[in-house]
Amino acid sequence: MAAIAGTPRWISAVLAMPGLLLLARTALVSAFLVGGIQKLADFPAAVAEQAHFGLQPAWLWAVAAIVVELGGSALVIAGRCVWLGAGGLGVLTAVSMLVANNFWALDGHDRFMATNAFFEHLGLIAGLVLIAILSLRKQNT
């Protein structure tokens, strides 16, 4: 990684460390990995979660969530078809934001918590977009 004007040399050295990008990609999708594994390990609970949010047929939404969470994470971590993995995870996150974090329909503390969760998820989607952009730029160099 070439040093960018104005970036301290030690920062450039840290950002160029071998394995840092892999570690960052893994950390970015870690919530999806954990969620997918938990849903797979307790499928009835995964179905109940989807039903709780009104998604029907709940079993199909649970299967879709598991496939996207685990498959998308694997693609992002492996650095293969990152656009597909990150895109799937981003869409899943957007759906969950609208279904589970409907802050506009809540009041008081519940509204505060849901608003925070909504915008945290929006930031996660931005991170997924950035990793897809980085992957595309890396391919084109």
Residue spans per domain, the chain: 20-139
3-state secondary structure of 79: coil
pLDDT exceeds 70 at position 8: yes
Whether the Cβ atoms of residue 28 and residue 131 lie closer than 8 Å to each other: yes
Tell me the whole-structure pTM to 2 decimals: 0.90
3-state secondary structure of 12: helix
Per-residue pLDDT, 5? 76
Confidence of residue 91 (pLDDT cuts 50, 70, 90): very high
Q: What value does the mean pLDDT of the chain take?
A: 94
Per-residue pLDDT, 139? 83
Reference 96, options 28, 40, 31; nearest CA is 31
pLDDT exceeds 60 at position 51: yes
Distance, in Å, from the CA atom of 40 to the CA atom of 112, rounded to the nearest integer, reads 31
Confidence of residue 123 (pLDDT cuts 50, 70, 90): very high
Whether the Cβ atoms of residue 76 and residue 131 lie closer than 8 Å to each other: yes
Q: Which helix (H) or strand (E) holds 20?
A: helix 20-28
